[in-house]
Structure 1
């Protein structure tokens, strides 16, 4: 890896305020994380969030909006992969997600964002911290 790549994360929030979290396996195991993936050439941030949510969970989200940006240095130190992630927030009506990528995820759960399951993936943890703080960016405490 010679330069950072762009990741997209999406905080999917239900009416009751809970957000969707999955337990990763394979890449980024054993961490919990919000849905997300790579920004593909020619895609908008919103298109990527909609695509990733549908591919991973079967959920259709509408009108995702950019919430925050994260610089994922803990993942760089641990895995040698440096990503900058754009995080979007989307409201959802609350039907249950499907696990459409069982090779990548053990399953999805709705959780209180102030009580994230651990261990938690760097980009996802920073994303939710920014969401809870009402800010677009939080400098890494351990940078």
Structure 2
């Protein structure tokens, strides 16, 4: 015997690693183009890269977070009743990082024109055709857009 006592299964820590929940706005204009923002070059995540309007839940529902973030980041007003879930990306971005569940919601209607309200996070908003996305675009954003167009609800990235 090694002198180490086996810990009974009932006493093992089974909490594991918590997943961060992110929410993302999928907006399509009448021409079928998708709204993406160009992230600030000083951003900790994906600097100078195009990405969905997005945020993290702060003791609120995912839809409430999406509505808040759209108003705060781009001046868009969205009624929660006009929001539908369209895709989830369960992501392990890089070795040593925590897992993230990225939830993507489509707003069927909204009011306002996207404007830069947080210039320290986003340099500008633009509309892009799903098959002609700008370079660079965040990998899971590109993956989610193509999956939404194909009618798929779920993608896993980085787990293998």
The TM-score, its normalising length taken from structure 2, stands at 0.76
Q: Which moved more, 1:104-113 or 1:79-88?
A: 79-88
Report the Cα offset of residue 133 of structure 1: 1.3
Give the Å deviation of 1:126.
2.6
- 1:46 offset after TM fit, Å? 1.4
How far is the alpha carbon of 1:48 from its aligned partner? 1.2
Check conservation: 1:57, 1:100, Cα contact below 8 A. yes
Deviation at 1:142, TM superposition (A): 7.7
Query: What's 1:65 paired with?
Result: 84
Would you say how many aligned residue pairs link Structure 1 and Structure 2? Answer: 139
**1:67 is paired with a residue of what secondary structure?**
strand
| Structure 2: runs of 5 or more not aligned | 1-16
For the pair shown, the structure with the greater C-alpha radius of gyration is 2
Task: Find the counterpart in structure 2 of residue 56 from structure 1.
Answer: 73
Equivalent of 2:123, from 76, 90, 106?
Answer: 106
The root-mean-square deviation of aligned C-alpha atoms, in Å, is: 2.2
Matched, 1:9 2:24: yes
Q: 1:38 aligns with which of 56, 68, 74?
A: 56
Q: TM-score, normalised by structure 1?
A: 0.85
Partner SS, residue 49 of structure 1: helix
Conserved 8 A contact 2:71-2:77: yes
**Paired position in structure 1 for 2:97:** 80
- Please tell me whether the aligned partners of residues 63 and 83 of structure 2 are also in contact (alpha carbons under 8 angstroms): yes
Asked if structure 2 preserves the Cα contact closer than 8 Å seen for 1:12 and 1:19, the reply is yes
Q: Which runs of 5+ in 1 are unaligned?
A: none
Higher relative contact order (CA 8 A, sep 6+): 1
